[in-house]
Every structure is written in C-alpha cells, then in structure tokens.
Structure 1
C-alpha cells in the first residue's frame, strides 16, 4: 500500500484547480468534468490549466495513507501536499466527503483557497443515507457494485458503463473493500454524519458555490437550504448525488463561474 498521496497533476499555471472526490471514488470521477472544462473555460486554457485531482487517503492509489475517513486529517494532508508542490493559490472543488474536506482545507489555509465549489457536500446537516453508504462499502460482486452505484445516482439517470467499470476496478485493489467499510463507519455514526457549526460556514470569506441535485438519495437536498447569504446555491432538478458523473458539463460551468472565468 502506498504511503504517498496520489494526484493526477496536469497542466501548468501559478493557480491550480484542485478536485476532491467523495466516498468510494478516485480522481477518475472527474474525467467528464475535465473534458468539459475547455468548453466553458476557453480563456483560461491558452497555456494550459493546472488541474490536480487526488485519490484521497483510503482510496485507490492512496489506499495506505493514514487518516482515511477523517475529514480534518484528509484536509491537512491535501493542504500539505499542495504546499509541497509549490502551489500557493488554488480553487477547490469537492464532492460529498470531498466537499467536507474542502471546507476544512479552506479553514486550514484561507489565504491559499481562492474559491470553493461544494457539490452535495458532507457536513451540511446530520442526515445521511447510511444504508446506501453501507451497501456500497460491502458490495463485492460486479452486480452488487453496479446496484450500489446506481442507487446513488438520480432515479432516471443512465449510469454509463465506464462509471461502473471504474467502481469495479476500485474494488479490485487489495484491501479496498475493507477500507471502505472502515471509512463508512467513520462517516456515519448512529445513522448520522457530523455537521459543521453555522459559524464555521459563515467564516468562509472566499466565493462559495454549492451544487445539489433535487433527487439526491444520499444527502438530503434540503441541506442546501438556509445557507449563509454569501453562498451561491445551484439546485439541479432531477439529478442525484453523483453530480460530477451525472452532470459533468453543468459542474464544469459552476466551477468556471466560481473561478471568475465566465
């Protein structure tokens, strides 16, 4: 198992876009968003845009890294890794658990985080579908994995074969299944997740965009209600929890808006 945080680090630039996946994901969940970005960020790409998509601790190529499932520890790991790469300023986009990590990273390094895009983020309320999390964590056969992935998408969503294949490939990593069970037990305790204090969200001084699918079966869409007035909330009708894969172009557009590129 690796002891180094893995990142798919491409492009150049003084300011980077950093992508943080959710539970049972990897850097690959952002493939569609990355393909869409040149279409919505044309002015940012003449010399290339530096994009860093991580495998967070406990997942894929970062499986053996400590702190898996503990959002603050993961946030510190990400902040430290970016500093080691010499990146002093960056935009953060995080999905689900990665959204919670992004919030904590912004508190750890407020001068470094230029903007936040929080996609169905963890920590915005205590409600969470622990049964769906457990089903994904315990899934072992291809059919079980496919069913667990489908349940996290919108009911009408057509899950592309590549998404399921990536999930099956993730589970093929020795020790990954056991690690997902461990992580899910840390995220969901007594049927609930930990929630950020209101004051902690209000203290975020950088631009913050929040995206939520109206049919999210993992984290209730109402958790996007009543957020600080400075937050810009994007409600996506008919979509579920897996927004980077369900609506990559829309998520790319929101990221572009958050960076000020459109």
Structure 2
C-alpha cells in the first residue's frame, strides 16, 4: 500500500463517505481549518496537502493538476476510501474535477470553489509573482489581490507565508507548479461539459470580486450544476466566508 499525501482529519469515522478537501495553488491543508471545524459534527473531513505544497513539499512528482489528481487518487486508495464528497479550491478545484471525470463512481458529490480550468483566462502575472515572492514586503501586496476589495486578511498571514518561503526548495516547487498549470498567459482547461454530465450532484462557489479567475467562468455550465456567487468576495471564499462555504458543502452532503 502506498503512503498517502500528508493530511489533516477532523470528525469521527462513521462508515459514511467523508468530505475530502483540496487546497489551491500555494496553499495547504490548514486553509480549510474553519470549514473543517464547521463540518466536524456533521461529517468526517480530510484535508490533503497537494504535491509541492505544505508537508508534501518533497513529494516525488510535482507539477500540473493531473499529477496532483493521480496522487490524491492513490491516497484515497491507501486510506481505503471508495466514496467521498470531494471539495476543491482553485487549482484543487481542477484536481477535484479531473478525479471526478476519471473515476466518477467514487464521487458522492463534487463542490468546486473558484475552480481552475473553467476557462483560459487567469491572472498569470499574479501567480508567477506570488510563486517567486520571498519577503513579507513582497508577499503582502500580492496576497491582497487574492481577496475581495474590502476583505480583512487573516492576521499575520503574509508573515507566516514569508516564514515558510525560507524552507529550502519551497519557492522552486511553487514556480514549477505555477508553470505547469499555466499555458503561456492562460491556464490549462478541464472538460466543463463532462463535469455537467456527472451523475453525482455538482455545486460551484465563486466570489464576484475574484481577481485571479473571473467569475464569468461560472456562467454557461452544462447540466444541473448549482452555482453560488458571493458579493464582495474574492478568490478565497473558504477564508473570506467560511461559514457560507461550509453551509453549501453541508447542503451538498445532505442532498447527495
């Protein structure tokens, strides 16, 4: 049995499919803490660190969303999880979408938070600059662009990110991943029509003030996909309005 990706578990196992949470580019499992706490009494949840991120910095294969999807699928096998409620943010949304398309029978439900791959447009300059930034003074003004215009950033977030960038290989890994998910000035895309054809329920969450991936990419989705758009929210709904995101996930679980 292979070793699963590093992960954080909350809630008790009860035989029902758990909620599996996949973070976005340059994030880690800790970004889901508020959502996990909100779901803790409802359902067991598992937040993974994706390859090249968090505790998976030295993962053997680091790169595009397809590689991360392969690693997550192997991790689900290692943890003996034949069915899951899958939730993914940004790059993690693209990873979640690929897993669902490749192995639809495993997906009890799919919730995508400002997912990558829903269109070519992406703020490629921001991602590249953020991947290479090391000092707090560089990181802070870039970090603001991931949030809504009036959002209050988590206290000392920029300082904590800068501290992590001192770890050998961290910036190199982020740069590698950034170039793998980007395609010149755009991003690689996923099969939106295939997602709409899934039999499992699908929900999409997006902030109307997203400056990384435009909210218009949530329009014109095929199938019976429920779309939740939040005014005044940027690219980080799970950090900006975690209670609302947890509520959508809980509704998704209840109706699946």
TM-score normalised by L of structure 2: 0.92
1:105 offset after TM fit, Å?
A: 0.9
Q: Deviations over 1:123-154 (max 9, x none)?
A: 10000000110121111101212222111111
Unaligned runs of 5+ in 2: none
Q: Deviations over 1:222-261 (max 9, x none)?
A: 0000001310000110100011111111110111011116
1:33 to 32, 35, 39: 35
1:93 offset after TM fit, Å?
A: 0.5
**CA distance in structure 1 between the partners assigned to 2:125 and 2:174 by the alignment:** 14
1:77 to 55, 64, 71: 71
1:162 offset after TM fit, Å?
A: 4.7
**CA distance in structure 1 between the partners assigned to 2:27 and 2:164 by the alignment:** 8
Which residue is 1:127 aligned to? 121
Which shifted more, 78-87 or 159-168?
159-168
1:234 to 228, 233, 246: 228
1:108 offset after TM fit, Å?
A: 2.4
Q: 1:221 to 1:142 in 2, by over 3 A?
A: same
**CA distance in structure 2 between the partners assigned to 1:251 and 1:186 by the alignment:** 28
Matched-pair contact (CA < 8 Å) for 1:25–1:167: no
Matched-pair contact (CA < 8 Å) for 2:39–2:45: no
1:155 offset after TM fit, Å?
A: 1.1
User: 1:214 and 2:224 equivalent?
Assistant: no
1:220 offset after TM fit, Å?
A: 0.6
Q: 1:4 to 1:205 in 2, by over 3 A?
A: closer
Which residue is 1:8 aligned to? 8
User: 1:109 and 2:103 equivalent?
Assistant: yes
Matched-pair contact (CA < 8 Å) for 1:138–1:177: yes
**CA distance in structure 1 between the partners assigned to 2:243 and 2:34 by the alignment:** 7
Matched-pair contact (CA < 8 Å) for 1:76–1:108: no
**CA distance in structure 2 between the partners assigned to 1:22 and 1:16 by the alignment:** 20
Which shifted more, 4-13 or 154-163?
4-13
**CA distance in structure 1 between the partners assigned to 2:244 and 2:175 by the alignment:** 31
Runs of 4+ deviating beyond 6 Å: none
**CA distance in structure 2 between the partners assigned to 1:211 and 1:197 by the alignment:** 18
**CA distance in structure 2 between the partners assigned to 1:164 and 1:13 by the alignment:** 38
1:170 offset after TM fit, Å?
A: 3.2
Q: How is 1:1-262 mapped onto 2 (pairs within 5 angstroms)?
A: 5-10=5-10, 11-14=12-15, 15-38=17-40, 44=42, 49-260=43-254
Matched-pair contact (CA < 8 Å) for 1:37–1:249: no
- Paired residues in the alignment total 252
**SS class of match (2:60):** coil
The RMSD of aligned alpha carbons is: 1.8
Unaligned runs of 5+ in 1: none
Matched-pair contact (CA < 8 Å) for 1:5–1:62: yes
1:37 offset after TM fit, Å?
A: 2.4
Q: Deviations over 1:151-197 (max 9, x none)?
A: 11111111011533442343233211111111111112210001223
